[in-house]
Structure 1
């Protein structure tokens, strides 16, 4: 019975943490990170500021927790990619999985895109940079020609830019996402084939 009560408490804490993240991210996106206070987040949750403090002491703690939770699939993907042979099919699979992770975390990446100056000054700026370097390293052959290294890096940034820069183009969101994935895949394919040609 005690175990069941402990499980229930853990679940409640998890649910509260998720609610805090959801409300905070909505406010950050709507008002901007700098203009959002802990008091407003607490009011959005209909709890006291003290109750919010039980889970998070600062706005940055909330933002870091959102980043860590939403980018966990990317962290796992990087670890998986490091253990694979750098074949073309592996690189294409990495892009497919990365595409899915970006779609899942789209509201957060939209916030980061619209608050670049703020993000750069916060801890998540460095954390995000490290994730990008990790993605680069599992997609790029360090012995490739410079143009093929650029293609590999560009494939990653194409996927990010494509999430926000195509809103005025015709087509559904899904069609645009698939088009972006196709372009990124073409870049990584060309980079891999160029590397393969040089190697042989």
Structure 2
């Protein structure tokens, strides 16, 4: 039963983020979220009482996944293989969990800035930027390492890179560019 409840919560979060991105956070009602999910408002209230609660749970989940990734990455050696694996894990999280929140943040920047969990995300993203840096590397290599992480993240922002590519192809290109930025050549 717990698995089913988690699945429903995940669906609510996903659909709410889609609506918040399409219509704007302030213009989306809980009734619209329930309607899109084809559930009743009381069923939605069982999981989340407010839009703020939905968004806070999504942001907390993202913060948790960033913290986990950063902790894992810091335990890895600074080999090119492990750095490439870190990039792959960032890309995978974007693909599977973060992309919808990044889209939401683009459309609803003010809402994200006002959220208490917003600071946690900023801190986590800053920590993530330094994951690929090799200790003792020169400033250019340090900068390239940070740009590699940003390349993967920005590859999920369609309006910045309108190259006529679909999402998956744009993400693949971003990962290829990021990998070149951390290569040893």
Task: Tell me which interval the TM-score lies in, with the shorter structure as reference length.
Answer: 0.7 to 0.9
Which runs of structure 2 are paired with 1:1-200 in the superposition (5 Å)? 8=1, 10-45=2-37, 46-48=39-41, 50-69=42-61, 72-105=64-97, 106-141=99-134, 143-164=136-157, 165-167=160-162, 169-189=163-183
Which has the higher mean CA deviation after the structures are superposed, 112-121 or 92-101?
112-121
Are 1:24 and 1:41, in contact at CA under 8 Å, matched by a contact in 2? Answer: yes
How far did residue 32 of structure 1 move? 1.0
Give the greater-gyration-radius structure (CA). 1
TM-score under structure 1 normalisation?
0.76
Could you tell me how far apart the structure 2 residues matched to 1:189 and 1:80 are?
Answer: 21
How far did residue 140 of structure 1 move? 1.8
Relative distance call for 1:147 and 1:26 in structure 2 (3 A) is: same
Could you tell me how far apart the structure 2 residues matched to 1:37 and 1:145 are?
Answer: 51
Are 1:42 and 1:52, in contact at CA under 8 Å, matched by a contact in 2? Answer: yes
More helix by share: 1
Aligned length: 181
Unaligned runs of 5+ in 2: none
How far did residue 112 of structure 1 move? 1.7
Q: Deviations over 1:141-174 (max 9, x none)?
A: 354332222212111111122222223x144543
